[in-house]
């Protein structure tokens, strides 16, 4: 059986203070997040729509709309460790306090929120899968994309996003990252091949798997070791 493999057609990322290629190049070289806290502009999203989205969702949908226009993918995979956790925790607090729930918050609190927002905003009925695989999100997304590409020879849009977790959950998620989104378009090919897994360093990774891959790609490294806590998943170019 052949190992999972794909070719990368395009990749983009957004985070506060990191928009231009030069911004990301400095981040990849130094590993330092800029002090900028304001969210990057999302001009492809109407203001009325943007107001309903969480910050991570807004960045993810902006990237998705850009890559959909370029490549017209046939499938969408959304990867997020925490999803709409800020919104969900707010709903739980309202329940505890016996307050009425916001219908908007309730409808946008599910893990496949970004998949729905992307297809609605793009006016494109893309079939979609949403993945919650903890720290192993991107690796799971790659495997899902490879399985899809083995059956359907159309590009796959892989959309990864997350933001800081609410204060209540921070004792269980020690590595806090700024809100960010990484999007890529995958197609059939052998550019990136899965080489297997190895034991990981017991220290929690400083970056999420999508940011690990993005930084490795920016540096032109021929191998990326996706650290998911217990295991390192090795993908080689």
**Does pLDDT of 90 surpass 80?**
no
Print burial letters for 30-46: b (CB count within 10 Å at least 16), e (below 16).
Answer: eeeeeeeeebbebebbe
Residues whose CB falls within 8 Å of the CB of residue 127, separated by 6 or more in sequence, listed in order: 74, 75, 76
Closest CA to 162 of 171, 146, 175: 175
Digit-coded pLDDT (tens) for 163-221: 888 888 777 776 778 999 999 999 999 999 999 998 877 676 789 999 999 999 999 99
**Does pLDDT of 26 surpass 80?**
yes
What is residue 177's three-state secondary structure? Answer: coil
**Does pLDDT of 11 surpass 90?**
yes
Q: pTM value?
A: 0.92
Domains and CATH numbers, the chain: 5-190 (3.40.47.10)
On average, the pLDDT of the chain sits at 90
């Amino acid at each position: 059986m052949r190992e999972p493999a794909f070719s990368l057609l395009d990749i983009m990322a957004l985070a506060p203070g990191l928009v231009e290629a030069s911004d990301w190049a400095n981040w990849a070289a130094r590993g330092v997040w800029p002090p900028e806290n304001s969210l990057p502009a999302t001009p492809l999203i109407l203001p009325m729509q943007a107001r309903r989205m969480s910050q991570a969702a807004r960045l993810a949908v902006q990237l998705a709309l850009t890559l959909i226009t370029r490549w017209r993918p046939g499938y969408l995979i959304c990867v997020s460790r925490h999803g709409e956790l800020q919104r969900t925790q707010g709903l739980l607090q309202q329940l505890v306090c016996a307050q009425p729930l916001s219908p908007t918050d309730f409808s946008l609190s599910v893990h496949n929120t970004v998949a729905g927002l992307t297809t609605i905003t793009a006016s494109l009925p893309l079939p979609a899968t949403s993945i919650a695989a903890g720290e192993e999100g991107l690796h799971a997304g790659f495997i899902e994309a490879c399985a899809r590409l083995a059956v359907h020879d159309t590009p796959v849009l892989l959309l990864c996003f997350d933001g800081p977790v609410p204060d209540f959950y921070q004792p269980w998620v020690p590595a806090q990252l700024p809100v960010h989104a990484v999007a890529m378009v995958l197609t059939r090919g052998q550019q990136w091949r899965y080489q297997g897994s190895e034991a990981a360093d017991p220290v929690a990774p400083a970056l999420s798997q999508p940011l690990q891959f993005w930084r490795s790609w920016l540096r032109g490294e021929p191998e990326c070791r996706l650290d998911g806590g217990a295991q390192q998943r090795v993908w080689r170019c």
